[in-house]
């Protein structure tokens, strides 16, 4: 088995290869003068190829498609997409709209596809091959365990992320809840935890994705007003566009914690061992 790391997932691919004691293929990535991408796998690909590439940008997706094509001589190709872009575009709201998540899924030809905390699991049905999603939330729980927090509570910023908070809290047996918006008047909205009181407690707000940071920054402000102790932001996928990090620290968070499905400075948790376990069972 050969691990082929795409340009967006070089560190994670190296960590997975190390965990599996597998060879990591040497690849060349460059742009032509007109900006088109060029990829070449320099090592022998062998019979079984595992391509690891997050698709944060459109170029990342092109690179993934190129890598799949470059592995055409392999008997089996497994594609790991630690962060799958466009997975939030999983519904058509208006006539004439593209179902973008479906388009992306249909372009990927492989024997197996594995995603990590894909935004919407229903997207897996659009792949033309076996596709499974793995949940890395427990790794956030493990990380939190060693932080020495005061009466910690894991909060999802909305009902949609409640299951994520639950799975991060499960092993630790700590409290979790989700934030709920209450309309107090025509122009006043209050955001509070649905069941628990955060006063004096350290809080970890956990979501699958932090993109602009808007959702989290708003939640931090509300929780500070409610007397929370230290507030941390955690996510699986640190998309972090533009000034998202500044927005978060400006809102008063103590730290931002994420996994390496997207390789950023805040990617303090690695999903490598989790992926290695899944790859071993393919
Ligand atoms: C959306 O449903 C996701 O789970 C996140 O809540 C969202 O992507 C966060 O976006 P932003 O950081 O831009 O507020």
Q: Domain residue spans in the chain?
A: 2-135+270-280, 137-260
Q: Is 207 in the pocket of ligand 1 (CB under 6 A)?
A: yes
CATH number of 2-135+270-280: 3.40.50.2020
Catalytically active residues, by annotation: 181
Q: Which of 211, 251, 266 to mutate to test the pocket of ligand 1 (most atoms within 8 A of CB)?
A: 211
The pTM for the full model equals 0.95
Alpha helices (runs of H) in the chain, residue ranges in sequence order: 10-20, 58-70, 100-107, 137-145, 162-170, 214-225, 244-251, 272-280
71-116 pLDDT, tens digit per residue, is: 999 999 999 999 999 999 999 999 999 999 999 999 999 999 999 9
Beta bridge partners of 176: 154
Cα(69) to centroid(ligand 1), Å: 32
Q: Do the first three CATH levels of 2-135+270-280 and 137-260 match, i.e. the same topology?
A: yes
Among the listed residues 51, 48, 76, the one whose alpha carbon sits nearest the alpha carbon of residue 61: 51
Whether the per-residue pLDDT at 189 is higher than 70: the answer is no
**What is the CATH architecture assignment of 137-260?**
3-Layer(aba) Sandwich (3.40)
**Span 182-201, mean pLDDT?**
80
Residue 193: per-residue pLDDT: 81
Task: Provide the token pair at 274.
Answer: 């989790």
CA of 185 to the centre of ligand 1 (A): 25
What's the confidence (pLDDT) of residue 191? 79
Average pLDDT, the chain: 95
Nearest atom, ligand 1, residue 119 CA: 4
């Amino acid at each position: 088995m050969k691990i082929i790391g795409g340009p967006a997932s070089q560190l994670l691919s190296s960590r997975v290869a190390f965990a599996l004691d597998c060879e990591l293929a040497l690849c060349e990535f460059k742009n032509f003068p007109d900006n088109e991408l060029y990829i070449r796998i320099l090592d022998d690909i062998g019979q079984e190829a595992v391509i690891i590439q997050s698709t944060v940008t459109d170029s990342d997706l092109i690179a993934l498609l190129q890598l799949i094509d470059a592995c055409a001589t392999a008997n089996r190709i497994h594609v790991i997409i630690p962060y799958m872009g466009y997975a939030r575009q999983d519904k058509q709201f208006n006539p004439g709209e593209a179902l973008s998540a479906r388009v992306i899924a249909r372009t990927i030809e492989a024997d197996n596809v594995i995603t990590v905390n894909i935004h919407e699991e229903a997207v897996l049905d659009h792949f033309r091959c076996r596709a499974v999603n793995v949940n890395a939330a427990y790794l956030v729980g493990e990380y939190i365990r060693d932080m020495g927090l005061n009466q910690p509570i894991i909060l999802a910023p909305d009902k949609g992320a409640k299951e994520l908070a639950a799975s991060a809290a499960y092993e630790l047996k700590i409290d979790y809840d989700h934030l709920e918006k209450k309309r107090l008047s025509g122009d006043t909205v209050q955001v509070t935890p649905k069941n628990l009181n955060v006063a004096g407690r350290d809080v970890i707000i956990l979501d699958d994705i932090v993109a602009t940071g808007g959702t989290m920054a708003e939640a931090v402000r509300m929780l500070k007003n409610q007397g929370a102790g230290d507030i941390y932001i955690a996510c699986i996928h640190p998309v972090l566009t533009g000034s998202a990090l500044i927005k978060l620290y400006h809102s008063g968070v103590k730290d931002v914690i994420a996994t390496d499905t997207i390789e950023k400075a805040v990617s303090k948790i690695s999903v490598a061992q989790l992926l290695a376990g899944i790859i071993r069972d393919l």
